[in-house]
Amino acid sequence: MLDSFGRQINYLRFSVTDRCDLRCRYCMPKDTVFYDKKDMLSLENLKKLSSSLIKIGIKKIRITGGEPLVRKDLLKFINHLYNYKRKNILNEITLTTNGTLLEKYANELFKNGIERINVSIDSLIPQKYSFITNGGKLEKVLNGLDLIKKLGMKVKINVVLIKNFNEDEIISITNWAGINNFDLSFIEIMPLGEIEYSRKEQYYPVSVAKDKIKNSLGLIKSSYKTNGPSEYYKTNKYNAVVGFISPISNHFCESCNRIRITSNGILYSCLGHEDSVDLKPFLGKTNSFELLKKIKESIIK
Ligand code: SAM
Ligand code: SF4
């Protein structure tokens, strides 16, 4: 399906919950107010909405949150998507997670068609990890990673660059990811939502990280492409790729093919803009025609 800018829309980022078991300092204040449970999409509505989006041409679905793995019925939803993947109607189901619950769910995720997972880790030093996540245990995440590696799933590590926090780990994280054959993305901090800290003080440009890696390990542009906004490179040492996402210093609208839906049923036809439509009123209807019509209108408009 083409939108009004001629972009082929085939990738959906679907948030299944706004809840999380961590409180990363750049993402979620400790006193975050969550959506009312009654406003969140039920399992039935997650299924209904995803089926409609697959009908209009969505081929890849990235499940995210909050933390998607804290949602108790997540595996049932993934199994619903897997039925489409098995029939080759859907090409890929992926997950972005903080990894704290991977040990518990890795096997089931694998059995339900998840072949690639993005795991967010901003420091490999347990005390620093605990600080930035407000109490997270790095060991749990690393154990989960071991398991998904053994299962043969492809891993990408997401690292948000934070000034005066993890710039001294850029090379060690790149080496660690390379040794484990994990792809890696360094991400610039984005001004999303209200937090207790100044984002300006946290901002560290990915261009500086790129220079550091280039000087230390060499960097060659890679032809590797995902549906995301990362530019990918290879070091002289490892097979895994290293990407740099700079939403602040770079524009990537022309190459974007994504829409997103929040866990309370709001569809955003652009990742960066606030243009949105509430799909909840159309989910209660028995006839899915109106829901499809509304989705198409909101993407094409
Ligand atoms: N809880 C999961 C996780 O942490 O991977 C999925 C949701 S989280 C919002 C998705 C990604 O967004 C993570 O890699 C996280 O580090 C990143 N993120 C969160 N807030 C950000 C911000 N203000 N700027 C840049 N990236 C951010
Ligand atoms: Fe939770 Fe992910 Fe936000 Fe950290 S980045 S608080 S893990 S949603």
Cβ distance 102 to 119 under 8 Å?
yes
Cβ distance 148 to 182 under 8 Å?
no
> CB count, 10 Å around CB of 193?
11
How far is ligand 2, taken at its centre, from the CA of residue 193, in Å?
12
How far is ligand 1, taken at its centre, from the CA of residue 190, in Å?
9
State how far the alpha carbon of 288 is from the alpha carbons of 40, 93, 262, 263, 291, in Å: 19, 23, 19, 19, 5
Among 23, 28, 96, name the best residue to mutate to test ligand 2's pocket (greatest count of ligand atoms within 8 A of Cβ). 28
Per-residue pLDDT, 44: 95
- Six-digit token string for 297: 């209108």
Per-residue pLDDT, 256: 59
Per-residue pLDDT, 140: 98
Per-residue pLDDT, 287: 65
Q: Give the ligand with the smallest distance to the CA of 228.
A: 1
pTM here is 0.94
How far is ligand 1, taken at its centre, from the CA of residue 87, in Å?
31
Any atom of ligand 2 within 6 Å of the Cβ of 66: yes
Any atom of ligand 2 within 6 Å of the Cβ of 190: no
User: Exposed, middle or buried: residue 248 (CB in 10 Å: 0-12, 13-18, 19+)?
Assistant: middle
Q: What is d(CA 19, CA 95) in angstroms, rounded to the nearest whole number?
A: 15
CA-nearest residue for atom 8, ligand 2, is 66
Atom nearest to 65 CA in ligand 2: 8
Any atom of ligand 2 within 6 Å of the Cβ of 122: no
- Name the residue among 13, 108, 117, 6 with its Cα closest to residue 60: 13
Amino acid in position 16:
V
According to DSSP H, which parts of 112-187 are helical? 126-132, 138-151, 170-179
Q: Give the ligand with the smallest distance to the CA of 95.
A: 1
Render each residue's pLDDT in the chain as its tens digit; 301 residues.
666 666 678 899 999 999 999 999 999 998 999 999 999 999 999 999 999 999 989 999 999 999 999 999 999 999 999 999 999 999 999 999 999 999 999 999 999 999 999 999 999 999 999 999 999 999 999 999 999 999 999 999 999 999 999 999 999 999 999 999 999 999 999 876 655 566 667 889 999 999 999 999 999 998 877 666 668 999 999 999 999 988 755 555 555 567 899 999 999 876 556 678 999 888 876 667 778 888 877 776 5
Q: What is d(CA 23, CA 253) in angstroms, rounded to the nearest whole number?
A: 30
User: Exposed, middle or buried: residue 201 (CB in 10 Å: 0-12, 13-18, 19+)?
Assistant: exposed
Q: Phi and psi at residue 100, in whole multiples of 5°?
A: -65, -25
How far is ligand 2, taken at its centre, from the CA of residue 97, in Å?
8
- Six-digit token string for 109: 């995720």
DSSP state of 185: E
Pocket-forming residues, ligand 1, beta carbon under 6 Å: 20, 26-27, 64-65, 67, 96-98, 120, 158, 160, 187, 189-190, 192
Per DSSP, the three-state class of 296 is helix
